[in-house]
Structure 1
């Protein structure tokens, strides 16, 4: 079973590959700042399936969640910090290689990135879709490397 370094590398490779394909077919225009955010989301997606076990990936994932929560609190985005906190707790209620290692979780877990901004701020799905796709891409790379397909 691959470790967190392999999953991080796989997610970066998969994320760059998907971005290149989307740029090549004209569905994405490169914005360097957004590319960094998308690659970070891809890495977080790749680490997510293993956060139900004591691992280096879990510590990296929750460290990133803590920094993001603190940033949201600093910018007085308390509603988003609360949503993030609830979502970050979900893996703690399952066994390792439980629901976090399923294809449907790969699609459902990042769904709040589409739904919450739409309902809270009225942002359109096309604006939010790259972030969802980035997380799913990283998640997919994890499942692929773990030979779950």
Structure 2
């Protein structure tokens, strides 16, 4: 009987040890760095300031850039914009540094590289040395090649 009680005690100890080693965090998947960054970008952003080659482009103010979790974007011009580096819609991909690089892709295949930063409800997007086409929203021809800077606030 003495041996049986020792064996049962040992069995209880082993079972308890096995049970406790399987406890802990739920092991849920942590979101990837890209998913975390995407979460910061998703939403509707209103342009509060824009410049081209250092000159203010006030016609962009109050336009919106909507970003979805499916990595799509839509640009909605709130006022008449003669010349723009923004297509009305497309997709985007993160660059090699997901915290600061994006490439916007228009349906016609244009790739628009950009640098960006997010701080709270403020998004800054720079299109440095932009050489893409003019996405005119007024059917006019104008120069858009150069450096663009946009400051946006999340609605």
Structure with the larger helix share: 1
TM over 0.5: no
Q: Which has the larger radius of gyration?
A: 2
TMscore range, shorter length? under 0.3
Higher RCO, 1 vs 2 (CA within 8 Å, ≥6 residues apart): 1
Structure with the larger strand share: 2
Query: TM-score, normalised on structure 1?
Result: 0.27
